[in-house]
Amino acid sequence: MDARVDYSMKDAGTLEPVRGRVRAEGGWENPMHVTVENVVRTFGLTPALHGVSLDIYPGELVALLGPSGSGKTTLLRILAGLDIPTSGRVLFDQDDALKLTVQERHVGLVFQNYALFRHMTVAQNIGFGLRVRPRSRRPSRKEIARRVGALLELVQLSRLEKRYPSQLSGGQRQRVAFARALAIEPRLLLLDEPFGALDAQVRRDLRRWLREIHDKTGHTTVFVTHDQEEALELADRVVVLSHGRIEQIGTPDEIYDAPNSPFVFSFIGESSELPVRVERGNIVLDEVPLPLAAKGYPDGPARLFFRPQDVELDSGAPGAIPGTIAAIRRHGGARRIDVEAGLDGHRIEIELPSQFEGSVGQGIAVLPRRWRLYPDAAPEA
Residues 94 and 204 in one domain: yes
What is the number of other CB atoms lying within 10 angstroms of the CB of residue 87?
12
Residues 255 and 285 in one domain: no
pLDDT category at 12 given cuts 50, 70, 90 is very low
pLDDT over 70 percentage in the chain: 91
Global pTM reads 0.84
Residues 237 and 320 in one domain: no
pLDDT category at 184 given cuts 50, 70, 90 is confident
Identify the CATH number of the domain in which residue 361 sits: 2.40.50.140
Residues 114 and 256 in one domain: yes
Residues 139 and 108 in one domain: yes
Q: Cβ(313)–Cβ(323) under 8 Å?
A: no
Residues 226 and 180 in one domain: yes
pLDDT value at 258 more than 70: yes
Q: Cβ(54)–Cβ(213) under 8 Å?
A: no
What is the rounded distance in angstroms from the CA atom of residue 290 to the CA atom of residue 292? Answer: 5
Question: Is 297 within a domain?
Answer: yes
pLDDT value at 18 more than 50: no
Residues 92 and 151 in one domain: yes
Candidate from 1-5, 194-198, 222-226 with smallest mean pLDDT: 1-5
Task: Give the dihedral sign, CA 160/164/167/169.
Answer: positive
How many domains are there within the chain? 2
Closest by CA to 323, choosing from 379, 278, 287, 365, is: 365
| 30 CB-near residues (< 8 Å, 6+ apart) | 58
Question: Is 95 within a domain?
Answer: yes
Supply the mean pLDDT for the chain. Answer: 87
Residues 245 and 303 in one domain: no
Residue where one domain finishes, among candidates 262, 279, 310: 262
- Which residue range is the domain that position 67 belongs to? 26-262
pLDDT at 4: 28
Side by side, which strands form the sheet with 87-92? 46-56, 34-43, 87-92, 95-96
pLDDT at 378: 53
Closest by CA to 310, choosing from 348, 354, 277, is: 348
pLDDT value at 87 more than 80: yes
Phi, psi of 315 (to 5 degrees): -65, -20
What is the rounded distance in angstroms from the CA atom of residue 229 to the CA atom of residue 268? Answer: 8
Q: Cβ(202)–Cβ(228) under 8 Å?
A: no
Residue where one domain finishes, among candidates 204, 231, 262: 262
Residues 164 and 308 in one domain: no
Residue where one domain finishes, among candidates 262, 288, 309: 262
pLDDT at 13: 30
Q: Cβ(25)–Cβ(186) under 8 Å?
A: no
pLDDT at 245: 97
Residues 314 and 359 in one domain: yes
Question: Is 65 within a domain?
Answer: yes
Question: Is 17 within a domain?
Answer: no
Identify the CATH number of the domain in which residue 251 sits: 3.40.50.300
What is the rounded distance in angstroms from the CA atom of residue 114 to the CA atom of residue 289? Answer: 55
Q: Cβ(304)–Cβ(338) under 8 Å?
A: no
| 326 CB-near residues (< 8 Å, 6+ apart) | 338, 339, 340, 347, 360
Distance (Å) of CA 106 to CA 28, 31, 248, 318, 322: 11, 11, 28, 63, 59
What is the rounded distance in angstroms from the CA atom of residue 313 to the CA atom of residue 325? Answer: 12
pLDDT value at 137 more than 60: yes
pLDDT value at 28 more than 70: no
What is the rounded distance in angstroms from the CA atom of residue 176 to the CA atom of residue 107? Answer: 17
Residues 98 and 57 in one domain: yes
Residues 212 and 257 in one domain: yes
Q: What is the pLDDT of residues 333-370, one digit of tens each?
A: 999 999 999 888 999 999 999 999 889 999 999 999 99
Q: What is the pLDDT of residues 148-158, one digit of tens each?
A: 999 999 888 88
Candidate from 111-125, 279-293, 344-358 with smallest mean pLDDT: 111-125
